[in-house]
Amino acid sequence: MDGNAVSPNCLSGIRVLDLTQFEAGTSCTEALAWMGAEVVKVENPKGGEAGRIGMPDPYYFMAYNANKKSITVNLKSERGLALVKDMAKQADVFTENFAPGAVERLGLGYDVVGALNPRIIYAQVKGFGEGSPYEKGLCFDPIAQACGGAMSITGEPGGRPVKPGPTIGDTGTGMLLAFSIVSALYQRVQTGKGRRLQAAMQDSVMHYSRGMFISQARHRTAAPRRPAAGNNAPSGIYPCKPQGPNDYVYLLTSRANPEHWPRLLKLMGREDLIGDPRYDTAAARVEHEAEVDEIIASWTRQRTKEEAMAQISGAGVPAGAVFDSMELTNEPSFARRGILQTVTHGEWQMTMPTWPVRFDGAPPPVNPAPILGQDTAEVFSEWLGLEAAEVEALRKQGVV
Amino acid sequence: MDGNAVSPNCLSGIRVLDLTQFEAGTSCTEALAWMGAEVVKVENPKGGEAGRIGMPDPYYFMAYNANKKSITVNLKSERGLALVKDMAKQADVFTENFAPGAVERLGLGYDVVGALNPRIIYAQVKGFGEGSPYEKGLCFDPIAQACGGAMSITGEPGGRPVKPGPTIGDTGTGMLLAFSIVSALYQRVQTGKGRRLQAAMQDSVMHYSRGMFISQARHRTAAPRRPAAGNNAPSGIYPCKPQGPNDYVYLLTSRANPEHWPRLLKLMGREDLIGDPRYDTAAARVEHEAEVDEIIASWTRQRTKEEAMAQISGAGVPAGAVFDSMELTNEPSFARRGILQTVTHGEWQMTMPTWPVRFDGAPPPVNPAPILGQDTAEVFSEWLGLEAAEVEALRKQGVV
């Protein structure tokens, strides 16, 4: 990296009481932390939150908890619960994504926390919305992707539905909630009042999959699976050498730009086909799609995906190589731009994406995800004025 | 809908000068509009922005431009450009996602707009980040999904990469930028200063695909395609009756919960296999995955996906049906909860998702996407104090 990392610092001074776990909730509070908020994860003293335990290593936890603090509190102890309620009085934001009903059973429902602190933004993630027939159901990212329509529009035509690799149900939901939280904070500057926010993973997946409702409005039938960009040819992925699992280039021709096709023919040495009525209109190319695809593929197979991307986009036709995680890691501009940064957590090291939006051109610095409970004494001192000896006594009693 | 729609109203009073087009930029400003900002789209008088023209119908435009205003301005005319610069002085946020270099060529680069209004949040979407080898390349959603790694982790194992149906490159980027804009607005309350924000679609896709860097850190190799949730069995989709293209149920067993497997066997009437060493541990089930999958599938094939989802999740194992857009539209709770609402734009009607996060339990009201230029006179009057006759004269001159 260029060494010029600067925190956007937009939310400095904002205190987030973070009871989230796994990814949907943690990705939300991580976004707040990238913006400079003080995010304090409250974790159980016996191993920490669900995304920290039961994993073979801490990489999952590291990816979604950068720049946060960690304290341990036994929420099942009366004193522990009282401490968290005291913290809620000091907090600007409260977040959780437990199973339905769990936070209320803990005694930290909105009725309790909102009454303790009417200025708090109380934000929850559930799998399904209040009023859904599934509102009591457990949810994980793939369940939300199935129930929210994303899988129905992903896959090969004629094949079975495929789960998108990006975690739209988890991080996708987290981003919508983070935006809503900051909007509520902005409003609070004027009103002085908190708000209650609820995001459902199924509903959030539908937001990212909205294109299916466009297709449905147009064709009056459920949106189909279609790997290409639209009803156009050539469009889609084409094989490149050396024919590894990700050696493909995606290219896109537009009905709005009739120049794309002759540009491709020229690039590919097939000027003989310019004007050929079999391929000369968008409709004709869709009709002869298999032939059209073979014209393209017989050229791309002779090139690497990087060569194909450079030459096709150089000819004025949108194209992109299918990059895998290792190829992205090895592309030096990501490290130089601070998009990828390497963090250390105990004995573990990981190269991970940072907040991707640039503020005044600078990348953000990253602090690795916290070790369990590393900030317990400091946070109880700063937020509640407890002395080190008091915290130590609480630790011996099993409260923290 | 319940008839109790209330705007979150968090950003009321915020003025957004919106030069966005297609989806990545428009989804960002639509989010701001859901929060109550006044979003004024500046469109060319000859047909409007690129997402409005060249489409067979306005559904695409309607999905990404709800709750906005539209004015027409010819940015190639000197007077038109001057008007937009005057508006920039009144705006809180400026947004654009033109091709690289285009907004600077128009004379509305950051150097110009930031100098006119040092309080403005100047926000841009490009395909690739400044400093990327592809920074001058055109980008559309599928290109970003190819280049950002999403396609490399989506598809059947052994099959070719598949483009995720959700528009992570477009709406995904828009959400990250919207969150960053509101964070900058929050900061401005204290500092009084604007900021320059830049989001790249490739970088944003990597954010939603972060799971691939976890896999890579763990296995020291590029993240593979894997439609199931993890290295566990049973996990994935299973066919249901009547075997239509989306008649599948997704189920998930967790290594952290050894009860999932006996629960499934009990539900499926295969108590005879409880304790069978071929399937009794997570490792054994992965080894015999084909057999395990057939045990599940022979049961799911006898049931609809809704029955399978209800019974499997009722037995305490996470499960979700693969719903398509029509099934979601026909599920009445979405309309009741205001997640789906029907809007009218001229002679066109469409059922579309609204902002999914609930503020104090209420759904947001939706105003349909604007007709081209419908707010020109009103906005020039309110923002710049122009009289109706002046606007009419500008129209005759081809300026607006």
pLDDT at B220 exceeding the cut of 70 = yes
Q: Are B248 and B237 in contact (CB under 8 A)?
A: yes
Residue B230 has pLDDT above 60, yes or no: no
Which chain B positions have a beta carbon within 8 Å of A187's beta carbon? 8-11
Rounded CA-CA distance A47/A372 in Å is: 7
* pLDDT tens by residue, A300-327: 999 999 999 999 999 999 999 999 999 9
Weakest mean pLDDT among A31-45, A104-118, B223-237, B357-371: B223-237
Question: What residue spans define the domains of chain A?
Answer: 15-209+337-396, 235-324
Question: Are A209 and B152 an interchain contact pair (Cβ–Cβ within 8 Å)?
Answer: no
ipTM of the complex: 0.97
Return all residues near B130 (Cβ < 8 A) that are at least 6 apart.
A337, A358, A361, B198
Q: Is the pLDDT of residue A4 over 90?
A: no
* Residues contacting A246, CB < 8 A, separation 6+: A305, A322, A323, A324, A327, B151, B152, B161, B222
The answer on pLDDT for B62 being more than 50 is yes
Q: If pLDDT is split at 50, 70 and 90, which confidence band does B54 have?
A: confident
* Mutation for A interface: B16, B156, B179, B205, most A CBs within 10 A: B179
Contacting residues of A for B168, CB less than 8 Å apart = 164, 166, 168, 172, 208
Q: If we measure between CA atoms, which residue out of A381, A330, A389, A33 comes closest to residue B149?
A: A330
pLDDT at B55: 85
Q: Mutate which of B145, B210, B350 to test chain A, going by most A C-beta atoms within 10 A?
A: B210
User: Does residue A332 sit at the B interface (CB-CB below 8 Å)?
Assistant: no
A114 touches chain B (CB under 8 A): no
Does pLDDT of A390 surpass 70?
yes
Chain A residues touching residue B141 (CB < 8 angstroms): 229
Distance separating alpha carbons of residues A351 and A340, to the nearest angstrom = 6
Q: How far is CA A39 from CA A29, A119, A342, in A?
A: 7, 17, 21
Minimum Cα–Cα distance from A334: chain B residue: B132
Which of the four pLDDT bands, split at 50, 70 and 90, describes residue B3? low
pLDDT tens, residue by residue, B261-282: 999 999 999 999 999 999 999 8
Q: What is the mean pLDDT of chain A?
A: 95
- A235-324: in CATH 3.30.1540.10: yes
Residue B78 has pLDDT above 90, yes or no: yes
CA distance B275 to chain A (A): 23
Q: Is the dihedral of CA B242, B243, B247, B248 positive or negative?
A: positive
What pLDDT digit, counting tens, does each position of A118-142 carry?
Answer: 999 999 999 999 999 999 988 999 9
Which of B206, B124, B195 lies closest to A362, judged by CA? B195
- Neighboring chain B residues of A216 at a CB cutoff of 8 Å: 325-326, 329
Q: What is the mean pLDDT of residues A143-171?
A: 96
- Nearest of A329, A333, A241 to residue B220 by alpha carbon: A329
| Tens-place pLDDT, residues A377-386 | 999 999 999 9
Residue of B nearest to A37 (CA): B183
Give pLDDT, residue A231: 72
pLDDT of B121 above 70: yes
pLDDT digits (tens, 9 = 90+) for B308-337: 999 999 999 999 999 999 999 999 999 999
% of chain A at pLDDT higher than 70? 98
Is it the case that residue A284 has pLDDT exceeding 80? yes
pLDDT, residue A78, reads: 97
The pLDDT value given to residue B79: 97
A164 and B CB contact within 8 Å = yes
Query: What is the average per-residue pLDDT within A205-223?
Result: 96
B153 near A CB under 8 A: yes
3-state secondary structure A88-131: HHHCCEEEECCCCCHHHHHCCCHHHHHHHCCCCEEEEEECCCCC
CA angle B147, B94, B206 (to 5 degrees): 20
Q: What is the pLDDT of residue A230?
A: 56
**How confident is residue B132, by pLDDT bands cut at 50, 70 and 90?**
very high
Active-site positions of B read 170
Q: Touching check for B109 and chain A: CB below 8 Å? A: no
Residue ranges of the alpha helices (H) in chain B? 24-34, 59-64, 78-90, 102-105, 110-116, 141-147, 173-191, 201-208, 211-219, 260-267, 282-287, 289-300, 305-314, 325-330, 332-336, 376-384, 388-396
| Residue range A22-31: mean pLDDT, rounded | 98
Cβ separation of A180 and B8 shorter than 8 Å? yes
Cα gap A201→A140, rounded to integer Å = 8
Q: Which residue in B185, B207, B216 is closest to A356 by CB distance? A: B207
Buried b (16+ CB within 10 A) or exposed e, A177-216: bbbbbbbbbbbbeeeeebbbbbbbbbbbbbbbbbbbbbbb
Set of chain A residues whose Cβ sits within 8 Å of the Cβ of B50: 256
Show the beta-strand stretches assigned E in A265-339: 319-321
A336 has a chain B CB within 8 A of its CB: yes
pLDDT of res. B229: 46
The count of residues in chain A is 400
Query: Region A364-372: what's the mean pLDDT?
Result: 97
Residue ranges of A 53-82 with Cβ closer than 8 A to chain B? 53-54, 56-57, 59-60, 63-64
Distance CA A196, CA A120 (A): 8
Q: Give the amino acid at B148.
A: G
Residue B176 tokens, joined: 């990250």
Identify all chain A residues contacting B205, using CB atoms and an 8 Å cutoff.
Answer: 166
Question: What is the pLDDT, as a whole number, of residue B238?
Answer: 98
Q: Of B156, B177, B252, which is closest to A140 when you measure between CB atoms?
A: B252
Write out the two tokens for A103: 């936070």
- Cα separation, A274 vs A276, in Å, equals 6
Mean of the pLDDT values across residues B120-143? 95
According to the model, what pLDDT value does residue A255 have?
79
pLDDT of residue B257: 85
Chain B residues with CB under 8 Å of A57 CB are: 217-218
Q: What is the mean pLDDT of residues B253-260?
A: 86
Distance CA B400, CA B388 (A): 12
Distance CA A371, CA A354 (A): 19
- Partner residue facing B320 (CB), from A146, A178, A215: A146
Residues from chain A that touch B31, judged by Cβ atoms under 8 A, are 179
Which one of A18, A92, A141, A170 is the catalytic residue? Answer: A170
A223-259, pLDDT tens digit by residue?
Answer: 999 755 457 899 999 999 999 999 999 999 987 788 9
Q: Chain B contact for A196, CB < 8 A?
A: yes
A/B interface, count of CB pairs below 8 Å:
465
Q: What is the pLDDT of residue A139?
A: 93
Question: Cβ A131–B333 below 8 Å, yes or no?
Answer: yes
- Touching check for A41 and chain B: CB below 8 Å? no
Among A50-59, A260-269, B193-202, the least confident range: A50-59
* pLDDT for residue B290 is more than 60: yes
Examine the pLDDT at A90 and tell me if it is beyond 60.
Answer: yes
A99 contacts chain B (CB < 8 A): no
Q: Do A168 and B163 touch (CB under 8 A)?
A: no
| Sheet with strand A235-239: strands edge to edge | A235-239, A248-252, A319-321
> A361 and chain B: CB distance < 8 Å anywhere?
yes
- Residue B364: which pLDDT band, with cuts at 50, 70 and 90? very high
Chain centroid offset of residue A351 CA: 16
Tell which residue, A167, A165, A175, A162, has the closest CA to residue A141. Answer: A167
Cβ under 8 Å to A: B residues 248-287: 248-250, 252, 255-256
A138 min Cα distance to partner chain B (Å):
6
Instruction: Determine the distance in angstroms separating the CA of B52 from the nearest CA of chain A, rounded to an integer.
Output: 12
Strands A15-19 and A38-43: parallel
DSSP assignment letter at B233: S
Picking from A146, A180, A217, the nearest residue to B357 by CB comes out as: A180
DSSP-assigned beta bridge partners for residue B99: none
What superfamily in CATH does domain B15-209+337-396 come from?
Crotonobetainyl-coa:carnitine coa-transferase; domain 1 (3.40.50.10540)
User: A103 pLDDT exceeds 50?
Assistant: yes
Closest-CA distance, B300 to chain A, in angstroms, reads 15
**A237: which chain B residues are within 8 Å (Cβ-Cβ)?**
146, 151, 160-161, 163
Query: Is A138–B203 a contact, with Cβ atoms under 8 angstroms apart?
Result: no
pLDDT, position A157? 85
